[in-house]
Chain A
């Protein structure tokens, strides 16, 4: 293990490794700062640039974007009360209040220090958890892998807001899209509708960029048309917080980071859930809960440490099991698959430079983030106020160029556009396109392993689901998570009714 660590460190500390991480962190931070672009979109936009690179360098660059993107969202959250990313939404409550009170430096540096702390914390935990988990995962056969993919999907679908069936439907759509093309077992074309370009299946890059970036452009285009461009001139108070003040933030940072790692390791939960839970948790256990929402720095520390610690936690299922727990790690999985590398337990044996490179890259990325953050916040007002129409056109240009460049086919440009329209329709219909992307990514793993497992069980589905203790436990988790998601709204309504009746 120590040798592998040294290998990972040597990959990171090569000139191109350092440059890749630096560019990644800078791109992610700037992307996160711009409302409408989150870590996932920033990663998706950078994806076409990674296929000329070594797989390890490519993944390190994306790790840098992931870290930077999660942090960058907090800058506009503090400065203009608009979160750059969903995960930074909880930072607005106290960060923007601090800014309005003239304590801009406290708000911005609190978010930077908490993000670096959370990121480092997540990376350390990743080192200790991922490898033992990978050795457990070696006991997995096709049946277990199929059920594991099923668990990932059901957790994601059941976490969908409001209507659990829409979450399930979106996940099913993703799996369905993954079945387009030649059948991996019989070589028969499926659902290609006569398009030759579809025989190889749908390309991941145009699909992801379409669903995330193009649909976001459409949404923003609807929102901004007719509005005048807004500009804001705020004089930043750049004074760095004192050490006693920073020291008082540490327990809150540890709490937020721990929560972030746990939630990050759970497929489907993600940085937004982590940051809101950390914020509510800190507020609940604070001696002074009424100060939250009125400019308490702990209201910035908790969500920011949590959403950055998620980066380490989310890598655990990706690297150890090959299951992406979030959109960002789904893109990371896509990047690895583009380079013909399959994450999972064997990754530690076949390509140790990748997981160990990621461990080291996360540390380096967080150190970079400190410096990039210090520079970025000085220019934050200007960048966060970048004219939206310009931004939208540049995003579309980048998406179309990237889609074409990947396959050299105009068809993929059309695919990105089509996926963008589907993404917009899904947003309007409250269908989580997160579930679709994860369904698409997990679809191939699911089908290939299901069919392998069915061959072993001689066509018995029962034999697949209850093949071993692992598959039985995992299937029970999948079933319980769906049942819980179905019953939760009913229980919530009945409790509400009872309270209402009691009040009457």
Chain B
């Protein structure tokens, strides 16, 4: 059931649990006869359970590591950090999109995002990138703005619509 590298999950679990317990500290006093448990009860039960599950994984992982002579392979980590490059690129492109969206508007920000994602996953043909990003953005903009009457941010194009 348990694995040697479960200590990472254990640490995260304990951290999440402690974070929640710290955050709901001020809510503990909000109780009355009509609501005997208060708003902190359920988050508190969950947080303690997470701490418990986390500690269990930490101890199990330590036990397994000791049993197997602590043979951790460093090469795996370098492999992983290389492979997540497209995720980092897409995330960065998305964060930039989030900041740009209210300023430059959807008609400019969305084609840029699509182009960035395509480049991140290895597409190099400029024609294809241009065609897919423009066409997809146009279809989405028309369906959401005119079909669903959603007010998408227009940025520079505000005066046109």
Which residue numbers of A lie inside 8 Å of B, CB to CB? 48-49, 52, 162-166, 168-169, 172-173, 175-176, 179, 183, 185-186, 188, 190-191, 193, 217-218, 221-222, 224-227, 388-390, 392-394, 396-398, 400-401, 404-405, 408, 410, 413-414, 417, 421, 424, 429, 431, 446-447, 450-451, 454-455, 458-459, 489
Rounded to whole Å, the gap between the CB of B49 and the closest CB of chain A is: 6
Q: How far is the CA of A451 from the CA of B45 in the complex (A)?
A: 13
Number of interface residues of B (CB under 8 A): 66
Q: How many A-B residue pairs have CB under 8 A?
A: 169
A–B pairs, 24, beta carbons within 8 Å: A165-B1, A165-B53, A165-B56, A172-B50, A176-B47, A185-B39, A190-B40, A225-B86, A389-B118, A389-B122, A390-B118, A394-B136, A396-B90, A396-B94, A397-B114, A400-B97, A401-B110, A404-B101, A410-B102, A413-B101, A424-B87, A429-B9, A447-B42, A455-B35
The contact of A397 among B9, B47, B98, B136, by CB within 8 Å, is B136
Chain A residue at minimal CB-CB distance from B9? A429
Chain B residues, CB < 8 A from A193: 23
Chain A residue at minimal CB-CB distance from B123? A389
Chain A residues, CB < 8 A from B83: 222
Taking A176-B43, A401-B152, A455-B34 as contacts, is the C-beta distance between A224 and B122 under 8 angstroms? yes
Beta-carbon contact of A191 and B23 below 8 Å: yes
Chain A residues, CB < 8 A from B8: 429
Beta-carbon contact of A393 and B133 below 8 Å: yes
Chain B residue at minimal CB-CB distance from A402? B144
Beta-carbon contact of A417 and B118 below 8 Å: no
Which residue numbers of B lie inside 8 Å of A, CB to CB? 1-3, 6, 8-9, 13, 16, 20, 23-24, 27, 30, 34-43, 46-47, 49-50, 53, 56-57, 83-87, 90-91, 94-95, 97-98, 101-102, 106, 110, 113-114, 117-118, 120-123, 128, 132-133, 136-137, 140, 143-144, 148-152
Rounded to whole Å, the gap between the CB of B83 and the closest CB of chain A is: 5
Chain B residues, CB < 8 A from A447: 42
Rounded to whole Å, the gap between the CB of A399 and the closest CB of chain B is: 10
Beta-carbon contact of B43 and A190 below 8 Å: yes
Interface centre among B13, B20, B39, B149 (most CB of A within 10 A): B39
Q: How far is the CA of A388 from the CA of B121 in the complex (A)?
A: 9
